[in-house]
Chain A
Amino acid sequence: MEASAIAAKLILAVTLLVAGGAKLASLSSFSATVRMFLPNRFRLPIARAISISVILGELILGTMSLTLPSVPLINQLVLVLCAAFIVISSIGYAIFRGRSCQCFGGLSQRKFDFLGVARSVLLLAMSVIALQHLNPGTIQVQLSSTLLLLAGAALLGASAFIAARAIEASARNLRRG
């Protein structure tokens, strides 16, 4: 049971890091998607500011969730973020069905559809599982291990960023012939 809670917590952390890194590489596309949810009077700079906040939130929460397993507040924040994902994917499904959600930036072609809502529900279920109280001995991490996990988180986020940017550059170069 503890292993499933740890696995859920880690899968969520890795997902947030990949999503944050990939979105950062496609910031303008993600800002355009965010702007769809805002009233017309909100200009692109506001959408961009919200986009950067979301990306930073994902990267910071993913990194903290991976490196600081003994802080229960992080699990609760991840739960709130996953609940927000459900609200956004439901609104997207209702109003912007079939449009790109830019959930993983250029790394995927995910759209606002029923499967997107189902994926958000799955993430929320995993965040609920991750809330389970764990034996302190099971999640004990020494400073050297924390630093290694931090390096792993940075590497994963950077890899997602570079991969998404490479895909966007390839697409742009192909368009230009």
Chain B
Amino acid sequence: MEISLYLAVAQWTLLFGFAFLVIMLYRQLGHVFGAKAPFKHGPPAGTRAESFEYKRVSDHTLQYVAPGGGQPALLAFVNPTCQACEELVRALSAAHKSGDLKDLRVLLLISEPATYLQISDAFRATDLEIGQILSKAPLNSYKVTATPLVIAIDAGGVIGASGAATELAEVRGFIRACFVPHHEPHFPDLPVVQKADAAH
């Protein structure tokens, strides 16, 4: 039985199509599970939070984040075109309305143009302060490799927790981390024996 040229090419193309699909699947799974590597996404707990400048979107004025001024802070690196970020903003807005964010400085930090805020219902509706990052320095110092990223900073300016969040329960976990004092490690690289000697 003789098959036409079309069918011969079609079966090979379908075969390559499936092979291509398997390669894409493994490649993406590699991206997904690679993102779980410790400390790759956000700074580790116990490190000191860095200061930086940003532009407040509501009045276009320059503002300053200076952790350690006696008030705990919750920084959320988000972007209006990121769907998970919209979920986080909704969760933060709900926490704000229910009074969970009392005594806490909460700041949504975007790196995209402020005009993009109009495309997102969650960003347009929120009462929380939105700031635009002016340089890549805070993205580097806070190890922002993907959004959303939440950073909980205690009153002493030490990072208590960092990571992704999209739900209210996760947001509440970060809020709790803001109110637990975290001590910056003084001898992070010394072996335990030498630290014990230093104590004597």
**A residues engaging B (CB < 8 A)?**
2-3, 6-7, 10-11, 13-14, 17-18, 28-29, 32-33, 35-36, 40, 44, 66, 69, 96, 99-100, 104, 106-109, 137-141, 145, 149, 152, 156, 159-160, 163, 166-167, 170-171, 174-176
| Partner-contacting stretch, out of B18-26, B53-61, B65-73, B188-196 | B18-26
On whether the beta carbons of B14 and A141 are closer than 8 Å, the reply is no
| B165 contact set on A, CB distance < 8 A | 175
Question: Do B18 and A145 touch across chains, with their CB atoms under 8 A apart?
Answer: no
List residues of chain A with CB within 8 A of the CB of B10: 6, 10, 66, 149, 152
A160 to B170 alpha-carbon distance, docked (Å) = 31
Flag if B24 contacts A104 (CB, 8 Å): yes
Q: Are B13 and A28 in contact (CB under 8 A)?
A: no
Chain B interface, >50% SS class: helix
Is A139 a contact of B4 with CB atoms below 8 Å? yes
Q: Contacting B13 at CB < 8 Å: which of A7, A29, A96?
A: A7
Q: For residue A44, which residues in chain B have a CB less than 8 angstroms away from its CB?
A: 121
User: How many residues on B have C-beta within 8 angstroms of the other chain's C-beta atoms?
Assistant: 37
B16: nearest residue on chain A (CB-CB)? A14
Contact yes or no, B21 A10, CB < 8 A: no
Give the docked Cα–Cα distance between A107 and B23 (Å): 10
Distance of A163 Cα from B17 Cα, bound (Å): 13
Using Cβ atoms and an 8 Å threshold, which residues of chain B touch A160? 21
List of 6 A-B pairs having minimum Cβ-Cβ separation, nearest first: A14-B17, A10-B13, A139-B6, A163-B25, A6-B9, A167-B28
B24 and A69 within 8 A (CB): no
Q: Tell me, in angstroms, the Cα distance from A156 to B14 when the chains sit together.
A: 8
Instruction: Kindly state the separation between the CA atoms of A24 and B118 in the bound complex, as whole angstroms.
Output: 25
Shortest CB-to-CB span from A104 to chain B, Å, is 7
Using Cβ atoms and an 8 Å threshold, which residues of chain A touch B32? 167, 170-171, 174
Cα of A104 to Cα of B28 in the assembled complex, Å: 11
Query: What is the bound-complex CA distance between A66 and B164, given in angstroms?
Result: 42
B183 to chain A, nearest CB (A): 24
Q: Is B187 an interface residue (CB 8 A)?
A: no
Q: Is the CB of A109 within 8 A of B31?
A: yes
Question: In the docked arrangement, what's the CA distance between A18 and B166, Å?
Answer: 29
Does B5 belong to the interface (CB within 8 Å)? Answer: yes
Contact in complex: B6, A108 (CB < 8 Å): no
Smallest Cβ distance from B150 to chain A, in angstroms? 11
